[in-house]
Structure 1
Amino acid sequence: MDSSSSSSSSAAAGAGAPEPVVLVTNDDGIDAPGLRFLVDQLVAARRFRVLVCAPDTDRSGVSHSITWRPALRCKRVDIDGATAFAASGTPADCASLGISGKLFNGLVPDLVVSGINVGNNCGYHVVYSGTVGGAREAFLYGIPALAMSYDWVAGQSSANDLKMAAEVVIPLINTVMVEIKNGTYPRGSFLNIDIPTDAAHHKGYKITKQGKYMARIGWEQTVYKKPAVESYQTANMDIDSEKDSEQDTSSENDLLFKRVLVRRSYDEEEGDDMDHKSLVDGYITVTPLGALSRAEADVVPYYKACLSRLADNSSSSL
């Protein structure tokens, strides 16, 4: 059978089935190029119904924070081929609202994709990442989820690299969706995916473990200046650029401090299967994550002994 007849047969076989639904969110904001390129690729694939619920402004570095008391403001946004809303909340808020059935008239996504973030989210950065927070929120409510980030290098990377990053992850999204539809996709984890700087020449996909890579941050005192307004901003720690808040209410009488990159630290036992090393080596890293943060097993006996001594000391003092 030639490729054209195979495609026709596949199309005919799936003609009666509803399109799988993908919800896209992020932490860089709904206008971020990483999200827009990803949505373009999903729409161009003509295999999915694409929904978007993303923050109305940059919410980088907010981790899994949520909006509790204030109501979220949602505004329809025109994105070709997708049904899209910008929300006044965090990535976790957007994922939660997007999967609730309330925003999209009862429609619940089969898969949530958070990204594509500007800057890698390897190692300990997972703790800070709003991108990962959006994916984790969907996972907590039983929806398969992927967090996606591109290893942006300031002064080297460009918007075209983000476009390429969106292209190279589509096969993975397709594969995950097939597994979901077949009922064979595991529900005990979600995936954190990092795309190497040279996305066009990546070495393939690689299953990795979360390592201990981290950009160590310090503080420097700075002087007051009137906030600048930028068309696109990111607060990712791996981008050596300064970000001014559009809602900055500082005055000349305030003491102002800004975060600065001190150094990047690495796991001393960083092996070939760790996320950051594999990313630097040119692989698209695929790291399964869970919602629970467990300590290393070898520390449990130590703490049991500490509590035992505490109990003994408490008894002797009576």
Structure 2
Amino acid sequence: MLIKCLELQQIVSLWLYLGHLFSWSKPVLVISGLNKGTTCGYDTLYSGAVAGAREALICGVPSLCISLNWEKNVSCESDLKDAVTVCLPLIHAAIRDIQKGIFPKNCFLNIGIPSCPLTNKGVKVTRQSPQRSSLSWQAVSTNKNPSAGHYMSNQQSLGIMLAQLGRDASAAAAARRLNSNRKNVEVESVGVAGKFSSQQTIKKYFRMELTEKEQQDIEEDLDSRELEEGFVTVTPLSLYANVHMEIQSSVSSWLAIALSGDQ
């Protein structure tokens, strides 16, 4: 059974499937994707594709998140088909081992496909890297030229986000977020000088763009590094943040001092 997301985000589609359409029967496997854009590093915190796979795991269903390292002006639509071809052995193996009861428990698999899927160097199990994306904001015309709406087409994982700034910002902007299927990020800032009057409202619009990723990956077996090297990356992600023992210890020590009253 294939549930295709149209106007709904992945996680909402999953709720609809598991909670209403087929509430009496769980699927064998949930595949969230294919996402056009990477979900490496801290991008997993913002990715709708990752959220869909995570929600499936919360509901007790094994899941995969699959993303293609889409490169602007380089990648093409046929690369998506090639990425599916590359993933099929992993998908078939997952279904087989779920039915045997030997598929990894308590995690979902975040699978990254390199920009040239058919020439990949193989499959590697990786760790989540500390990579993060840098964002820039650009003012756009108050006429909201449609050309300004074509932003970051290779990063659908970020979805549609609409922020509203200013005490007197109207609720209409929030309604547009719910009804719009555009991939641009709009921030509506409403500034009012002096006493408020609807005739005096000044609106400014900004477009968010993804710039170069901040690369901090010097270690091997990190998802973003191995993906750039041309490997298919398989990163197990848990529902829980894995805090290193030394951090746990330092927080325990700090908390003991902070609450002791001996300042």
The residue that corresponds to 2:257 in the other structure is: 309
Aligned mates of 1:294, 1:184 — CA distance in 2? 23
Q: Deviations over 1:248-286 (max 9, x none)?
A: 796993122222334421235x32211011111111101
| 1:214 aligns to 2:132 (yes or no) | yes
The residue that corresponds to 1:199 in the other structure is: 117
- Provide the aligned C-alpha RMSD in A: 3.0
| 1:298 aligns to 2:246 (yes or no) | yes
Aligned mates of 1:215, 1:232 — CA distance in 2? 15
| 1:279 aligns to 2:197 (yes or no) | no
Superposition map of 1:1-318 within 5 A: 50-54=1-5, 56-57=6-7, 89-100=8-19, 102-104=20-22, 106-226=24-144, 228=146, 234=153, 236=155, 253-268=202-217, 270-313=218-261
Aligned mates of 1:157, 1:142 — CA distance in 2? 35
Q: How many residues end up aligned between the 2 structures?
A: 228
Aligned mates of 1:111, 1:232 — CA distance in 2? 32
Identity of aligned residues (%): 29
Whether the 8 Å contact between 2:135 and 2:211 is mirrored in structure 1 is yes
- In structure 2, the CA distance between the partners of 1:303 and 1:249, relative to structure 1 (3 Å rule), is closer
Amino acid at match of 1:310: A
Whether the 8 Å contact between 1:204 and 1:283 is mirrored in structure 2 is yes
Aligned mates of 1:206, 1:148 — CA distance in 2? 14
Q: Which has the higher contact order (CA 8 A, sep 6+)?
A: 2
Unaligned ranges ≥5, structure 2: 159-176, 191-200
After TM superposition, give the deviation of residue 232 of structure 1 in Å. Answer: 11
After TM superposition, give the deviation of residue 246 of structure 1 in Å. Answer: 5.6
Aligned mates of 2:26, 2:111 — CA distance in 1? 23
Q: Deviations over 1:185-231 (max 9, x none)?
A: 12211000010001011112111111111211132333323353989
Whether the 8 Å contact between 2:152 and 2:210 is mirrored in structure 1 is no
SS at match of 2:78: helix
Aligned mates of 1:212, 1:99 — CA distance in 2? 33
- In structure 2, the CA distance between the partners of 1:297 and 1:227, relative to structure 1 (3 Å rule), is farther
Structure 1 length-normalised TM: 0.64
Structure 2 length-normalised TM: 0.76
- In structure 2, the CA distance between the partners of 1:211 and 1:176, relative to structure 1 (3 Å rule), is same
* Bigger mean CA offset, 221-230 vs 102-111: 221-230
Unaligned ranges ≥5, structure 1: 1-49, 58-88
SS at match of 2:112: strand
